[in-house]
A and B are shown apart, each in its own frame.
Chain A
Amino acid sequence: MIHTENLTKKFGAVLAVDALNLDVPEGEVFGFLGPNGAGKTTTVRLLTSLISPTRGTATVAGFAIGRRDTDIRRTVGLLTETPGMYDNLSAEYNLKIYAELYEVADVRGQVEKYLKMLGLWDRRMDAAGTFSKGMKQKLAIARALLHEPRVLFLDEPTAGLDPEASHLVREFIAELKKEGRTIFLCTHNLDEADRLCDRVGVFKTRLLVVDSPANLRNSVFGRKVVIHLRAADEKLADVARRLAFVREVGVVDNKLVVSLENPEAQNPDLIRELVRAGADVMFVGELRHSLEDVYLQLMKNA
């Protein structure tokens, strides 16, 4: 659905996007992660045909940027970093304008559908300027969806929202995912990306890595199991170390932290050997690194 080849954007001497090669299949929620100034918004603007690339090519929903810009704009929905509503106009009128500009056949029906879906129907006649930040963001999401786009670009959809509003927005994105829309999600909220995205790309002017959050964790930190014992010591750690499949063992309080390649297959043998050596195993779990840990590690290496 989104395909880029060496997509590059320079502003004068400043390289904003460096040879981006990316494929996002239909129906995927793709998380685009990176620090401020990494070029995420520039990439979104390139892919929504708001700006043109310096080099390289890209297609969105089969339309080439720079050649079929109007078709791209007709096909994609964009939630910009700031809602950018017409504050003096009512919520309903704000959406009506965009429904007309997006050539929606049933303007009234679509406006009503999304105002109701996002819980804004009762406030439809109120000026958008009187809305809270969360409500404005919901209104902006409704605006991005009025024409039922196949591809949705969401630039920081929960930035600056309180936890409740963030939760509502995330729930709504999850609903959109169920509808099979392709979603390109730029976010700083790594927990949000972890929960919503099928794959994430870590970006800092160039794409550092692309994979599912789980695979990224494994590739950056490996898989580790934590074995809670009644009493852990170096003797038991040595028992684990002697096993050929064990990569690394550490003792933390009464826990053994063991790096394994395939815990599902190797855990039974490991536990059996520890029990045989006299260990009282209380429970076993997998050490789960957050996507934030992965991100910070990647940024450190970058």
Chain B
Amino acid sequence: MKLSRMALIGLAAGSLVFAGCSTTGSGDAAGGATASGAAEGSAADAGGASTAARARRAGYSGTMRLDDPASILAVRKIYFEFDSSEISFDNKLVLRAHSEHLNANSSTNITIEGHADERGSREYNIALGERRANAIKAYMTAEGVNPAQLNVVSFGEERPDLLGHDANAWSKNRRGVLVY
């Protein structure tokens, strides 16, 4: 496992996404992914509090530093269900924190990248990635962020986060990424 801390956090966030969705019982592909994702998530929990737990506990505080790995602002990846651009509750907490940060730093612009897993056709996945990025942008705009601070770009399946061809990789690649 050559996973960076960042990736671990990402995985943890991913596990939350799956935890959220498994209650809705959707996605055959997600079924397999839930197990492995949960396992990874458990490992992360063992090392400390989960992202969401941190988010719930701490929320955003003006003193939070963007480069603090322990900060909720270190969570930059928002994961999605298959063929979906719906943002889970836990990810909304993450996005709220980022929105507050951007509201506090109006000169800061970010790029929201939309990504998809490798399944299906590539141009459709570009569109799907854009839809996910736009969903994030819409949420953050609703949280008061000036749209001018938010650039959107979709890479579809062209820039996978994980180079695998299984449900786990796919679940990590269906994502929105906030790039500061």
Same assembly: no
Residue numbers of A with Cβ under 8 A of B are none
